Amino acid sequence: MIEKQREKEFLFELERLYHNYNLIVVSGEDYIELKEADCSDIDTTTKVIEYHIDLLRRST
């Protein structure tokens, strides 16, 4: 139950970063960083966000 709540809070913060600051989280094997979102193609931006969220979920 606590884990689901933390996940919801985390996703809310990601959404807030995107909508308020045009930033997305990008992650790799051993890093997490914020990058400016490319809003020229919303579908691609959404896919990038979903991809990196999946990477973060797998690493935790």
pLDDT (tens digit per residue) in 24-48: 777 777 777 777 876 666 677 677 7
Confidence check: pLDDT of 52 > 80: no
Domain residue limits, the chain: 2-59
Higher pLDDT, 44 or 1: 44
Q: Does residue 25 contact residue 19 with C-beta atoms inside 8 Å?
A: no
Confidence check: pLDDT of 9 > 80: yes
Distance of CA 18 to the CA centre of its chain: 8
Confidence check: pLDDT of 60 > 80: no
- What percent of the chain is modeled with pLDDT above 70? 85
pTM greater than the 0.75 cutoff: no
